[in-house]
Amino acid sequence: GARHDAYAFKHHGLERYLDESTVADKGYIGLGLATPARRKPGQRLSREQRRNNRVLNRLRSVVERVIAHIKTWRILHTGFRRPLGLYGRVFSVVRGLVFLAAGGTFE
């Protein structure tokens, strides 16, 4: 939309539900989430910062892939035609299948 995701994050009080273990992109720097380090002008990232960025980006790529599948398969295009109580479980199954396909586990 017209507003940045970080605005919605703050405006709707989502920080109550997420913490520093939540992986986010650079748009969320300073909001108490795990975000990649940003290079300052004229400086380089340290070896540890680059390593941490790689780890965070790998984790984020799996989530981005799930979102891409949801959009590609148009999963949310039509109304959910099952009992609403099943929605979270169905979404978790799709997420789990994508993790498994990426070589991950459910743990």
Residue 7: CA count within 13 A, CB half-sphere? 4
Q: DSSP for 12-65, please give it.
A: TTGGGT--TTSB--GGGTTSSSB-PPPPPTT----HHHHHHHHHHHHHHHHHHH
Collapsed DSSP state (helix, strand, coil) of residue 95: helix
**Do residues 67 and 74 lie in contact, with contact meaning Cβ atoms separated by under 8 Å?**
no
- Give the mean model confidence (pLDDT) for residues 28-57: 95
pLDDT of residue 88: 86
Under the banding of pLDDT at 50, 70 and 90, the label for residue 15 is confident
What is the enclosing helix (H) or strand (E) of 107?
none
More confident residue, 97 or 53: 53
Amino acid symbol at 75: I
